[in-house]
Amino acid sequence: VDRRYKQYCEQMRGVVASFETVVGQGAADVYSSLASRAMSKHFRCLRDGIVAQIKATKKVLGEKDAIAPGTTKGETPRLRLLDQSLRQQKAYQNMGMMENHPWRPQRGLPERSVSILRAWLFEHFLHP
């Protein structure tokens, strides 16, 4: 978010400079300051929302803050470990090393539909 905000500020400076070359020096000050304040507020709200979501996730996972006392330097947070394991599983699945979940059919009808069809076929064609 911070990188995008800096990019926005640079683009805004470019727009202001090109506007002032056409209209005159200082003509864009009022408009650019209003736009800058509004966009700064939006970026700040977005950043605060993301930080709050990360903190809530850490709290749910029982993870300590990085600045909390008792945290060792080599300690890997649970969220990062979870992310690493999920990425590794996905990589193994993509390479075909890990079998797909057996309870999830890959093709064809759902199991309930197959059982209904099987029962109907048995009733109508395979009477003993």
**Could you tell me the residue ranges of all domains in the chain?**
1-63
Q: What's the pTM value of the predicted model, to 2 decimals?
A: 0.46
pLDDT band of 7, cuts 50, 70, 90: very high
Task: Measure the CA–CA gap between 53 and 15, rounded to whole angstroms.
Answer: 34
> Encoding tokens for residue 118?
């099987």
pLDDT tens digits for range 89-124: 877 777 765 555 555 555 677 788 888 888 888 887
Phi-psi domain of 26 (left: phi exceeds 0; alpha: psi -120 through 50; beta: other):
left
Contact by Cβ (8 Å): 63, 77: yes
Map residue 3 onto helix, strand or coil.
helix
Q: Which amino acid is at 103?
A: W
Q: At what angle do helices 78-95 and 29-61 cross, to 10 degrees?
A: 90
